[in-house]
């Protein structure tokens, strides 16, 4: 009935939505693609338009790739790419798997199911900023351990389950991977007055220094006592590089001394946790719609829980899983708010702004610099669009064979 002569009615009903979408979505999208290729575009003074009007003969002279080059040359471009990709490609798969497991467990319990469902759904209805602020409190590092100041909950837990050293080493490794700088480390044992105290050669009083970068010393990793002696003799060296010493025991996750490794771990944790809620909501809905008879049949055939999950639950949920995977990937590529929430608009720990830069952050950065760089922002957005397009297409292609509609 909507076909044929009544067609105009359908268009009429769609008109409000179409007009709004046109003004606020389609036009800006097309426009940003155009702007991205325009030299020195200035939206207010309309330099570009004047140029065109005055230089008809110049033809395509306003067309340029320069904007893209500018983006690539941004000091934090590498961070933006690295962080965005890492967040998308690590946190999304983990959170999908985690959400699926939690949903299956949720469905299988009878008592308190509603309670837990609500609990898991709470992050969804909480402001991202509020969650991020809560995270900064959780991950707080309130100074040195020797001073006996109480730590943030995460650090306290890490301390009490004895993960301090392991985590610190892992972060060192991550930072090494990230910066590519050889991080020769030596552990020395110094008490607060700068004296070596062998009795206190325990976790709590260990400090470490990246000797290569600080002291430029040709020392082998693990040659501990040599440095101890060396440093003990040179209290002034220790003091002058005091800033670079940090307590092994407590990690500064989001504070001024946070490193790339610690910061990205917090961001990943945040992304996974905050995105669980919606996924669990969708998955539990999908799970309850699977006919119970399949599980009865599997039970009678003596199928193990593990096999039931992989051979029945996952294939039956596969359309939903792929849907969630793709929408979450796209969402993750647009990561921005959470970084601002965790680190402020500097997009990084206080000491090193831009360390947690993301792609959308980059776009905003150009937009925030007044009208001068709007075209560069547009170019950054086009790059992001292309990356998302490629990743989505890849995901689609990879999952196609495994999805059972």
Partner 1 sequence: MEITLVGLCKYFVAKDKTVTKAVDNMNLTVPSGKLIALLGPSGCGKSTTLYMIAGLHTPTHGQIFFGDDDVTQVPPEKRGIGLVFQNYALYPHLSVRQNISFPLENERMPKDEINKTVLEMAKLVDIEPYLDRKPNELSGGQQQRVAIARALAKRPKVLLLDEPLSNLDARLRLQTREEIRRIQRETGITTIFVTHDQEEAMSISDEIVVMRQGVIQEIDKPQNVYDNPINLFVAMFLGTPQINVFSGTLHKNKVYIGGNFREKEVVDENNVKSIEYNYEGGNEFYLTDIAIPEGKKAPDKPEKIFVAIRPEGFNAEKLAGNENSEIKQSKEEATKGIIKAKVDLVETIGRDTTLIIEDPTAPKKFFKAIVSADKKIEAGDIVELSVKPHKMYVFNKEGDLI
Residues found near partner 1 in the complex (CB under 8 A): 291, 293-294, 296-304, 307, 311-312, 315-316, 318, 404
Least Å from the CB of residue 293 to partner 1: 4
Neighbouring-strand partners of residue 206: 189
CB nearer to partner 1: pick between 74 and 399: 399
Compare residues 128 and 312 and give the one whose CB is closer to partner 1.
Answer: 312
Q: How far is the CB of 311 from partner 1 (least distance, A)?
A: 7
Q: Minimum Å distance from CB 303 to partner 1? A: 5
User: Cβ closer to partner 1: 89 or 314?
Assistant: 314
**Based on CB atoms, which residue is closest to partner 1, 136 or 313?**
313
Question: Measured from the CB atom, is 187 or 295 closer to partner 1?
Answer: 295
CB of 352 to partner 1, least distance (A): 49
Q: Cβ 405 to partner 1, closest distance in Å?
A: 9
Choice between 242 and 311, CB closer to partner 1:
311
| Nearest distance from C-beta of residue 118 to partner 1, angstroms | 20
């Amino acid at each position: 009935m909507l076909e044929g002569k009544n067609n105009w009615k359908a268009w009429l009903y769609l008109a409000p939505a179409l007009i709004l979408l046109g003004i606020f979505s389609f036009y800006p999208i097309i426009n940003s693609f155009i702007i991205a290729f325009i030299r020195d575009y200035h939206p207010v003074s309309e330099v570009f338009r004047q140029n065109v009007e005055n230089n008809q003969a110049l033809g395509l002279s306003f067309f340029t790739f320069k904007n893209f080059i500018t983006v690539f040359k941004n000091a934090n471009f590498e961070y933006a790419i690295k962080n965005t990709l890492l967040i998308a490609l690590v946190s999304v798969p983990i959170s999908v798997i985690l959400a699926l497991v939690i949903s299956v467990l949720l469905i299988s319990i009878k008592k308190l199911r509603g309670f837990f469902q609500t609990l898991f759904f709470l992050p969804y209805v909480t402001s991202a900023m509020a969650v991020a602020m809560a995270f900064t409190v959780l991950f707080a590092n309130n100074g040195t351990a020797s001073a006996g100041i109480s730590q943030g909950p995460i650090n306290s837990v890490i301390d009490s389950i004895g993960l301090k050293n392991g985590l610190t080493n892992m972060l060192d490794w991550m930072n090494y991977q990230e910066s590519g700088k050889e991080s020769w480390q030596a552990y020395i044992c110094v008490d607060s007055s700068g004296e070596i105290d062998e009795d206190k050669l325990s976790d709590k009083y260990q400090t470490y220094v990246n000797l290569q970068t600080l002291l430029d010393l040709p020392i082998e990793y693990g040659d501990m006592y040599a440095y101890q002696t060396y440093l003990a003799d040179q209290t002034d060296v220790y003091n002058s590089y005091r800033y670079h010493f940090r307590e092994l025991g407590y990690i500064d996750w989001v504070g001024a001394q946070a490193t790339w490794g610690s910061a990205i771990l917090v961001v990943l944790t945040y992304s996974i946790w905050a995105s669980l809620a919606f996924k669990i909501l969708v998955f539990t809905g999908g799970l309850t719609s699977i006919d119970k008879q399949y599980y009865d049949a599997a039970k009678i055939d003596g199928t193990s829980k593990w096999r039931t999950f992989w051979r029945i639950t996952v294939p039956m949920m596969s359309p939903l899983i792929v849907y969630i995977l793709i929408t979450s990937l796209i969402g993750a590529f647009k990561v921005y708010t959470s970084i601002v929430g965790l680190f402020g608009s500097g997009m990084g720990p206080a000491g090193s702004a831009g360390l947690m830069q993301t792609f959308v952050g980059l776009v905003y950065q150009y937009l925030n610099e007044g009208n001068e760089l709007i075209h560069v922002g547009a170019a950054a957005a086009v790059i992001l669009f292309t990356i998302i397009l490629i990743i989505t297409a890849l995901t689609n292609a990879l999952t196609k064979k495994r999805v059972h509609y």
